[in-house]
Amino acid sequence: MTQEQQWIKQAQTGDTEAFRHLVEQYQKMVFSFCYDLTGNLHDSEDLSQEVFIKMWRNLKSFRLEAKMSSWLYRITMNAWIDRSRRKNVRVHWNKTELKDETLRDAPSSQNSEWNPEAQTNSVLVDQEVKAALSSLSPRERAVFTLRHYEDLKLQTIGEQLGITTGTAKSLLFRAVRKLQDALSPVLKEQLS
C-alpha cells in the first residue's frame, strides 16, 4: 500500500492530519485547474476550497483502486458547472493579475531586445484569448483546459471527467471551433 493510499484510508476514518497530507499533495493541481476555469485568483481560491470540502464529505465513497487525481478533476469540474449554473457565471479575467503577470515576465527596459509595442500587442492578444475562453460552456472549457493547459490525452480527460472519449473529443472540437471564430479577427490583425 502506498503512502497516499494509507492517507486515504486514514482520512476515510476521520483522520484530519491524513486529510491535510492529501490536500497538500493535490492543492497545486486543483488550484491550477480552478484558475484555468475561473480566470481569477479569488474565484480560484473559493472553488478550490469548495472542491476540498466536497472531497472531505465524499471521501468515504472513494475507492482505493481509483486515481485520486481523476476523482479530484471530476469534483472540480462538477463544482465549476454547478457554480456556473447557480450564478450563470461568466469568467471575468482580472486584468490587474494579467498586467502583473505580464510585467513580471517582461524583460527589463535595459534589455535592448525588449519591444514595448510587441509587449502591448501580446497583452492585448492575451486579453482576447481569455475573453474568448470565457465564452465556452463550462464543460467545453474544462475539456479544452485539460487538453491544452494540462496536456492530457482525450482518453484520460474522458476518464477523469466521467465522460466518454468521444464526448471529450466532441466538446474539444466545439471549443476549438468557438475559439477560432472568436479569435479570427485578432489573428487577421496580427498577421497584417
CA 121 and chain centroid, separation: 25
pLDDT at position 102: 40
Confidence bin at 49 (pLDDT 50/70/90): very high
pLDDT of residue 54 exceeding 60, the answer is yes
CB atoms under 10 Å from CB of 36, counted, come to 21
Contact 74, 161 (CB under 8 A): yes
Residue 118: which of 105, 131, 137, 100 has the closest Cα? 105
pLDDT of residue 148 exceeding 70, the answer is yes
pLDDT of residue 99 exceeding 80, the answer is no
pLDDT digits 0-9 by tens, 73-86: 999 988 988 888 77
Contact 137, 167 (CB under 8 A): no
pLDDT of residue 109 exceeding 50, the answer is no
Q: Which residue has the higher pLDDT, 88 or 32?
A: 32
pLDDT of residue 34 exceeding 80, the answer is yes
Q: In b/e form, how buried is each residue of 150-160, taking b as 16+ CB within 10 angstroms? A: eebebebbbbb
Percent of the chain with pLDDT over 70: 76
Domains of the chain (ranges; CATH) run 3-87 (1.10.1740.10), 135-192 (1.10.10.10)
